Chain A
């Protein structure tokens, strides 16, 4: 794998590790309001400063990291599961079902995704599960299309014909012979998509549709810090850098993996 892939994987690992360990060793509580230290700039007391309510920025950023990454990752797993299942069935059996499913995929893929996600998160009560469902609701379609295309070429392969010839049922051929081939490709697409999911999670929380206060998310921190951008820019800057850095790492890792597994993505 290209060095940029290794470096980004290391950065993602570091962020994960920090967000898991820090709550136990770092002295500040992300929700503790401290009226004596409002909007303190980064310094020895608070390494990344404090926000408009005197809460420690680093502690809040780490809480945001846990939420951002776990929500995006869970959503990606759900989207991949649904997409793999539908793509397998659609590509393998073809026919009317295939046409209907791919029509649906086209519709979902072509519709402005954030509007769709906003639609979903408006229906369900705001919170992290809603964000997860919203992302998966839009996300499954790319996995379904990728898997279907791959299955179309796989089902003509000789080893699949051989498996059918020795009497394997459709279920067995799908699960044991075709599915395992699709997994690396789907995992690569998942890495490639995670950067976008992180941004969608942040956008939804920015609009107030994500995890609710007092829980800190990167998006909601920017939305609150916006009002103080002239006097205390760090309140909005640090979560912004966190979002961009994490999304960038996932995108670079995804790029490196797609080069490795020969996945060609347009756009």
Chain B
């Protein structure tokens, strides 16, 4: 299969998945409760509630609502927020770069540190350092981000007053949430890198590389790391999902104006267009990252390239 066909097939599947997710989330989200009620409160007169239902189309049959929503989507629209009356698409586009900035900065911490620690631990197999890294990584996946974030905030912002505790803005505001977000990612990456490198390190071709007189540096980088990259890149890609997970919690804690916090507020206010919009955007990002990971396999591994 050549590359263009591969990409086209991926795109086709993406559209199918999106329609499916749109249908599922739509039918789920519709069960949330009456949006009209949560907009005006329980004490509003029945006539007012009826009027709002008509206005937002909640009085129509379910399938009609779904078809209308899909029609809206094909026009590239996501509807308006019930609560603020603002266009969801505009809001998402405004907040999305904030979440991306945070996720990218977190990755910038996590990838070199995580892969480096895992690699190093594997090379020093069964030493105190290895044991220490292994224990630290288990701790890393056991502490929820909303707690580690709180600890970091308590220590750095409230005790030593080095960085601001919350808000949206430049690098000063980004450092703490990005650090929080990167902790579980560092732990996962270090674990995967360690196991992968341990698998490779005893293979005959490594022995050959050493036997033919390559320097340790060359063996480590050109032979071990190169072969370990495929599983590691998979995890980096898959982990993007956990950045999105983490963003929901971290953004809420640090008051960062991204799509994670936007989604949580939407849920609390029963603001369907907002919830639907963020879930769909999350899915698109997610599928996009997966395609990127697939493409990077082609670049990384000639064996996959020849197999197609």
Binding site for B on A (CB under 8 A): 107, 110-115, 118-120, 122-124, 195-196, 199, 202-203, 206-209, 219, 222-223, 226, 229-230, 233, 236, 240, 243-244, 247-248, 251-252, 255, 264, 266-267
Contact = CB atoms under 8 A, between A and B. Distances in A.
A246 to B, nearest CB: 8
Given A122-B32, A195-B141, A233 B154 contact: yes
Contact of A122 (B29, B141, B249): B29
A199 B246 CA distance: 12
Interface band, chain B: 35 or more
Residue with the highest number of chain A CB atoms closer than 10 Å, among B17, B146, B158, B252: B146
Given A122-B32, A244-B147, A115 B248 contact: yes
A207 B241 CA distance: 18
A267 B188 contact: yes
Contacts of A114: 245, 248-249
Contacts of A110: 238, 241, 286, 290
Contact of B139 (A123, A209, A222, A244): A244
Nearest to A244: B143
B8 to A, nearest CB: 19
B66 to A, nearest CB: 16
Contacts of A233: 154
A8 B43 CA distance: 53
Given A119-B28, A122-B28, A122-B29, A248 B138 contact: yes
B11 interface: no
Nearest to B196: A266
B29 A123 contact: yes
A226 B144 contact: no
Interface in B233-254: 235, 238, 241-242, 244-245, 248-249, 252-253
B292 to A, nearest CB: 13
Contact of A203 (B146, B192, B267): B146
